[in-house]
Chain A
Amino acid sequence: MQKNNITALIYDIQGFSVQDGPGVRTTVFLKGCPLRCPWCHSPESQRFDRELNWMSIRCIGLDTCGMCLDVCPNGCIKAGEVTQNAAGDDIRYPEVDKTNCDECGKCAAACKATALYMCGDEVTIDDVMYRIKRDKPFFEDSGGGVTVSGGECLAQPEFTLELIKSCKELDINVAIDTTGFVKYDVIKSVMPYTDMFLYDLKCMDSDLHKQVIGVPNELILENAKRIAEAGGKLWIRIPVMPMYNDSEEHFKLYGEFLSEIKDAVIMVQLLPYHKMGLSKYARLLTNKQVFTAEPPSDALMDARKAQLEAMGLPVRIH
């Protein structure tokens, strides 16, 4: 198959990404994920198709524009009441009811101000490699590289595999950021071109995992062990969620599991829960109940770090 016939749906490429593995990296975010973490800070990454987003701050108002009002074939967009924008000026926004929306994108195409816009771009390998090549000098001086992330990048395995093969042709360091919730065969196929896996361990209790995220964790833990056995490197990422996985007992379980695969673990990265993703839910125009909590304290983060370090693991916060 020709490389350029393969496409993927991505929602972002971020240059100079410094929290996605060592050195200065460029991270490619593929759209679509099999998990539904309630704290997800990139809700736009979850669906495997393009979807309508709305950012009121960009809207110039129906009285100036109004191009979105008549284009929806399903009648989802109506004129709203006069309200005030961030600057305190009167403005009328459209009201979008997504109940009957089929994500056709006609309203976004009509919106010159891109207040209504479609999240998700279909890209080829060449499209992505162009940006990667431009950023390559920054990797070279810093020991960085490319991180393929998501969503779940291994849920679009053909594209991810071709992309990292192309990176390896240019001798670029590759990290795969994965939930681990994929068939091991897929992992095995990318392994020869992968320098490390950024590997999420969201919860050690399988029942709780299933209850909160929607799937159990056995496959994830099993895959981690198999990567370790096959000589792969694991950069473990633990989102520290208040009331969920932040207790001392829970971290004991993390410690025990990671000790089993210690030789493969090059870093354990603790990521404290933050609220920065909350505004993105509003953009998606969903009424979904979102997990909110106070971010864990610095003291708690330090304690959990110390707990794992005491077991001989390399740990960092952020």
Chain B
Amino acid sequence: MFKFAPVSDRIKKIREKRDAFTNGKLITINTERTKLYTEYYKQHPNEHPLLKRSGAILYWAQNKVCNVFDDDIFVGTPGPDERSMSIYVDGSPEFILGIIDERTFKEAWQSGGAVYMSDEQRDILAEAYDVWKDCSISKMFEGVLTDDMWDGFDNGSIILGKGKFDEGYTGVFAGTQGHYSANFKAAVNVGFGEIRRQALDILAKHKGKIMGDWAKKHLFYTGVVRVCDAAIILSKRYAQSCRAKAGNEVNAERKAELLQMAESLDWIMEHPARTYWEALQIHIFYQIMLSTDNQQHGQSMGRVDKSVGHLLEKQLAEGSITQELAQEYTDAFLLRLCDIIVVHGGMLNNERVIELNKAGMNAYMAIYSDMTATGGIVLTIGGSKPNGDDDSNAATYCLLQTYGRMNFTDPTVALRVHKNTPDEIWRLGIESSKISGGLPQFQNDDIIIPALINDGFSIEDAYDYSIVGCVEPGGNGNEWSASGATGGNSVWSISEVLMLVINGGLNVRSGKMSLPCKKLYEYGSFDEIKAEFVRQMDYGLDWAVSHCEMFELAYSTFYPCIVASTMLDGCMQSGMDATEGGAKYNRTGIQVCGTANVADSLMAIKKLCFDDKTVSLREMYDALQANWVGYEQLRQTIISEVPHYGNDIPEVDELAGWALETFADLIHTKRGRRGYYSAGTFTVTAHLYFGSILGATPDGRKAGEPIADAISPRQGFDKKGPTAYLRSALCLPHYKLSNGDALNIRFTPSSVSGDEGAQKLKNLIYTYFRLGGMQVQFNVVSTAQLREAQKNPLEYKDLVVRIAGFSTYFVTLRENLQEDFITRTEQSM
């Protein structure tokens, strides 16, 4: 039977050290970035934001502590410590008040819990709060929101309301910008030295000739130079640290290695990479810079194998690297990326940390419950060339080997497959995914590439796409894809739209009106209901886009993303920051969940109230108002006699397809300041929150129960096996979901065991893709195992599951999410 090879002794040692950090209460809080950024902001209160952001990253690069640790194969950590969690104050610093509270601070952070914070760090946070409370992203957003804009909140269209996405988030709109693939291939193969030269040339040409619209470009190019300086200085400072460490090293072999690293570090960032090691090291530095610049979710690495593979293949051919060493580098690379830990400030407060410490759980893991530690770094590998040939290389295989044998939850990896993907890649991908709880996820080039061309990508750029954030196809280093949207409306509950249609346009939860319309019992035909659904959705999406646009304005005005813009294709040419629309491609993605509930609900209304006429619209309306109390027989009739999405029953699947296509078509007509909007269906864990605030729905769902995630059927309602489930999913317009969709499917271990099971899993995905599916992520875990894990969390602390766009430890999920995961149908084959 297939087995991944064990890791080298050296990797094992690094891995063990890393785990010891996690388990041994040695993780610290990183406040270095906060300290340096706060200092810079205090010293330069009047600088233009383009200069302020670029000046701050340069100041950070000049002043951060550059430690090199024993056993380091790659260097670079966001803070001074080997393993620390970075927290950010820029978004909404209000959470700091919940940390600096004297009464609970020591118990939370200094009493032997898994994460440590010193008194000095607490004081840094307290000072930062004073500086940032008036200039945070949230405050800037409030500053652009005119009074009329607040009307949209809670009217059923701006569903997230005033900021409370779930209990983990506090403050208004913290950290909801980002979601793009930075241009790592240029960082590796062009270098910051070249970009710096280009920017200086442009500045020289325009020196003393700032006219027309040049003033802002002048600041932009000045900022670019600073960012390039920061990159080069950062690398050279680490080179010095390597030399210093070499000076104290007694082991001759290690000493030589450190000196070799120093030589490379003096070269890279400024110049293009010469070796596989240098290419990977550049990825680490640039990722640290990006995550230092700003807390952005879904900062994605693009096609890592494509950016570095040519160097690896050259070295393998000339014999300057062995396959074993290449694999060791790849393993070490991923381990180093794991050390870039960012945390949503809103998730941190002393009470929660104390609670986790008391539970004896690894607080590092637990703080990340429901979330990813690296903030959503995703690597893309594999894929096809424009001529249809496979575009994988030696690095693709190394990365798949790494994922298969190291059981990471994070960063995640997306494998692009197409009709000519080699069997060996399939094999490694399936086996890795079986072991590691869904990594890699599988993406179908044959659907995604045409969808991107349809969105305006050139053929060449469409073939070069990479996955952003969770599952979103986007440009590889040439697009500001904002695929998680910008602001508070990245995800959207399509089920809420249906409830507006039923309730006369009233959002029952908030008491606010959307567009006034009929109530359910006043409609004359099923078509009239559908037409009203389209009208309400269009109205709601207009509001959602309006808020995105205002947020984008605030962001681009006060928080330009100059570190990313320095490399992104298009920004250097246009002289514009990516947040202004400077990149070559620009989209904004909005995603929905609850499609299955809409389809099942419409089906129930159509069948019972219009076709069979066994239930009156009034009775259905009353049952919903009563949350089914007194109407249990009707509810049971709906559950057992009305077709449900997910069972290959065309009449209901068509309704699901119609609802989603309506959404996709409508959102594609909305154009913002940078470009068009695009449609997606992945929703992370928002379906639980949306369900919790939604009243009873005509599909028999009671108020407060979760709605369906992504494109999944209602939890437990797909009863006819995986082929029927996939057939239903194939009724959806995947080719229009250019912002990505997620198909979750869970198997019992026995049904996919062994080589034959792996082969059949491949067949399943292959056929689904051939018929037009876009994305698959699967879990191999039984309901019994999950129940056992709930009872004995400590014994199952390593059980990794794929939730939405991310994988995580099952036992660290909040209880409602655990239940949701368990109730998703377990497929056996």
Interface residues of A (CB under 8 A from B): 14-18, 23-24, 26, 60, 64-65, 67, 112-114, 131, 134-135, 137-138, 140-142, 144, 318
Judging by beta carbons under 8 Å apart, are A18 and B723 in contact? no
A-side contacts of B829, CB under 8 Å:
16-18, 24
Judging by beta carbons under 8 Å apart, are B763 and A24 in contact? yes
Given that A18-B751, A135-B723 are contacting pairs, would A141 and B767 also be in contact in the complex, using a CB cutoff of 8 Å?
yes
B823 interface residue, CB < 8 Å from A?
no
Give the contacting residue for A112; candidates B633, B760, B766, B767; CB below 8 A. B633
Q: How far is the CA of A26 from the CA of B723 in the complex (A)?
A: 9
Q: How far is the CA of A7 from the CA of B727 in the complex (A)?
A: 26
Judging by beta carbons under 8 Å apart, are A15 and B721 in contact? yes
Top 3 nearest A-B pairs (CB, nearest first) are A142-B763, A15-B723, A112-B636
A-side contacts of B724, CB under 8 Å:
15, 134
23 contacts between A and B (CB under 8 A): A14-B721, A15-B720, A16-B764, A16-B829, A17-B721, A18-B757, A18-B829, A24-B763, A24-B767, A26-B723, A64-B633, A65-B633, A112-B637, A112-B640, A113-B640, A134-B724, A135-B727, A137-B771, A138-B723, A138-B763, A141-B763, A142-B760, A144-B763
Q: How far is the CA of A67 from the CA of B637 in the complex (A)?
A: 13
B-side contacts of A64, CB under 8 Å:
632-633
B254 interface residue, CB < 8 Å from A?
no
Give the contacting residue for A16; candidates B641, B723, B770; CB below 8 A. B723
Chain B residue nearest to A60 (CB atoms) is B632
Judging by beta carbons under 8 Å apart, are A140 and B633 in contact? no
Q: How far is the CA of A41 from the CA of B510 in the complex (A)?
A: 53
Interface residues of B (CB under 8 A from A): 632-633, 636-637, 639-641, 648, 720-724, 727, 750-751, 756-757, 759-760, 763-764, 766-767, 770-771, 827, 829
Judging by beta carbons under 8 Å apart, are A134 and B763 in contact? no
Judging by beta carbons under 8 Å apart, are B760 and A24 in contact? yes
Task: Give min CB distance, B151 to chain A, whole Å.
Answer: 42
Q: How far is the CA of A65 from the CA of B648 in the complex (A)?
A: 30
Q: How far is the CA of A144 from the CA of B763 in the complex (A)?
A: 10
B-side contacts of A16, CB under 8 Å:
721-723, 764, 827, 829
Q: How far is the CA of A60 from the CA of B634 in the complex (A)?
A: 12
Q: How far is the CA of A38 from the CA of B633 in the complex (A)?
A: 38
Task: Give min CB distance, A217 to chain B, whole Å.
Answer: 30
Task: Give min CB distance, B719 to chain A, whole Å.
Answer: 11
B-side contacts of A26, CB under 8 Å:
723
Task: Give min CB distance, B451 to chain A, whole Å.
Answer: 21
Judging by beta carbons under 8 Å apart, are B722 and A67 in contact? no
Task: Give min CB distance, A68 to chain B, whole Å.
Answer: 12
Judging by beta carbons under 8 Å apart, are A137 and B770 in contact? yes
Judging by beta carbons under 8 Å apart, are B640 and A114 in contact? yes
Q: How far is the CA of A65 from the CA of B633 in the complex (A)?
A: 7
Given that A15-B721, A16-B829 are contacting pairs, would A23 and B648 also be in contact in the complex, using a CB cutoff of 8 Å?
no
Task: Give min CB distance, B766 to chain A, whole Å.
Answer: 5
B-side contacts of A144, CB under 8 Å:
763
Judging by beta carbons under 8 Å apart, are A113 and B636 in contact? yes
Task: Give min CB distance, A14 to chain B, whole Å.
Answer: 6
Q: How far is the CA of A137 from the CA of B766 in the complex (A)?
A: 10
B-side contacts of A113, CB under 8 Å:
636, 639-640
Task: Give min CB distance, A265 to chain B, whole Å.
Answer: 19
Judging by beta carbons under 8 Å apart, are A141 and B766 in contact? yes
B-side contacts of A114, CB under 8 Å:
636, 640
Q: How far is the CA of A135 from the CA of B728 in the complex (A)?
A: 12
Given that A18-B757, A112-B637 are contacting pairs, would A23 and B763 also be in contact in the complex, using a CB cutoff of 8 Å?
yes
Task: Give min CB distance, B20 to chain A, whole Å.
Answer: 35
A-side contacts of B639, CB under 8 Å:
113
Chain A residue nearest to B759 (CB atoms) is A142
Chain B residue nearest to A67 (CB atoms) is B633
Judging by beta carbons under 8 Å apart, are B764 and A24 in contact? yes
Q: How far is the CA of A26 from the CA of B648 in the complex (A)?
A: 14
Name, among A65, A112, A144, the residue most crowded by chain B CB atoms within 10 Å (CB to CB).
Answer: A112
Judging by beta carbons under 8 Å apart, are B648 and A134 in contact? yes
B-side contacts of A140, CB under 8 Å:
767
Give the contacting residue for A60; candidates B636, B721, B722, B767; CB below 8 A. B636
Given contacts A15-B722, A24-B764, A112-B636, 18 further A-B contacts (CB under 8 A): A14-B721, A15-B720, A15-B724, A16-B723, A16-B764, A18-B756, A23-B760, A24-B723, A60-B632, A64-B632, A65-B633, A112-B637, A131-B648, A135-B723, A135-B727, A137-B770, A140-B767, A142-B759
Given that A16-B827, A67-B633, A112-B633 are contacting pairs, would A134 and B767 also be in contact in the complex, using a CB cutoff of 8 Å?
no
Task: Give min CB distance, A172 to chain B, whole Å.
Answer: 14
Judging by beta carbons under 8 Å apart, are A134 and B636 in contact? no
A-side contacts of B721, CB under 8 Å:
14-17
Q: How far is the CA of A14 from the CA of B771 in the complex (A)?
A: 20
Q: How far is the CA of A230 from the CA of B760 in the complex (A)?
A: 31
Task: Give min CB distance, A116 to chain B, whole Å.
Answer: 11
B-side contacts of A14, CB under 8 Å:
721
Q: How far is the CA of A141 from the CA of B763 in the complex (A)?
A: 6
Q: How far is the CA of A16 from the CA of B757 in the complex (A)?
A: 12
Task: Give min CB distance, B511 to chain A, whole Å.
Answer: 32
Q: How far is the CA of A313 from the CA of B721 in the complex (A)?
A: 33
Give the contacting residue for B767; candidates A18, A131, A138; CB below 8 A. A138
Q: How far is the CA of A137 from the CA of B727 in the complex (A)?
A: 10
B-side contacts of A112, CB under 8 Å:
633, 636-637, 640-641
Task: Give min CB distance, B67 to chain A, whole Å.
Answer: 50
Task: Give min CB distance, B820 to chain A, whole Å.
Answer: 17
B-side contacts of A17, CB under 8 Å:
721, 829
Q: How far is the CA of A152 from the CA of B764 in the complex (A)?
A: 29
Name, among A64, A137, A144, the residue most crowded by chain B CB atoms within 10 Å (CB to CB).
Answer: A137
Chain A residue nearest to B634 (CB atoms) is A112
Q: How far is the CA of A259 from the CA of B724 in the complex (A)?
A: 40
B-side contacts of A67, CB under 8 Å:
633
Q: How far is the CA of A144 from the CA of B632 in the complex (A)?
A: 43
Task: Give min CB distance, A194 to chain B, whole Å.
Answer: 22
Q: How far is the CA of A135 from the CA of B637 in the complex (A)?
A: 29
Q: How far is the CA of A140 from the CA of B633 in the complex (A)?
A: 43
Chain B residue nearest to A66 (CB atoms) is B633
Judging by beta carbons under 8 Å apart, are A137 and B767 in contact? yes
Task: Give min CB distance, B753 to chain A, whole Å.
Answer: 8
Task: Give min CB distance, A261 to chain B, whole Å.
Answer: 25
Q: How far is the CA of A18 from the CA of B760 in the complex (A)?
A: 8
Q: How far is the CA of A144 from the CA of B764 in the complex (A)?
A: 11
Chain A residue nearest to B827 (CB atoms) is A16
Task: Give min CB distance, B635 to chain A, whole Å.
Answer: 8
Chain B residue nearest to A22 (CB atoms) is B756
Chain B residue nearest to A316 (CB atoms) is B756
Q: How far is the CA of A64 from the CA of B632 in the complex (A)?
A: 7
Q: How far is the CA of A112 from the CA of B829 in the complex (A)?
A: 29
Q: How far is the CA of A65 from the CA of B639 in the complex (A)?
A: 15
Chain A residue nearest to B632 (CB atoms) is A64
Chain B residue nearest to A14 (CB atoms) is B721
Task: Give min CB distance, A66 to chain B, whole Å.
Answer: 10
Chain A residue nearest to B721 (CB atoms) is A15
Chain B residue nearest to A138 (CB atoms) is B767
Q: How far is the CA of A23 from the CA of B770 in the complex (A)?
A: 17
A-side contacts of B827, CB under 8 Å:
16
Task: Give min CB distance, B420 to chain A, whole Å.
Answer: 14
B-side contacts of A142, CB under 8 Å:
759-760, 763, 767
B-side contacts of A65, CB under 8 Å:
632-633, 636
Task: Give min CB distance, B1 to chain A, whole Å.
Answer: 13
A-side contacts of B720, CB under 8 Å:
15
Task: Give min CB distance, A125 to chain B, whole Å.
Answer: 19
Task: Give min CB distance, B254 to chain A, whole Å.
Answer: 46
Q: How far is the CA of A96 from the CA of B224 in the complex (A)?
A: 80
Chain A residue nearest to B750 (CB atoms) is A318
Chain B residue nearest to A114 (CB atoms) is B640
Chain A residue nearest to B633 (CB atoms) is A112
Q: How far is the CA of A16 from the CA of B767 in the complex (A)?
A: 12
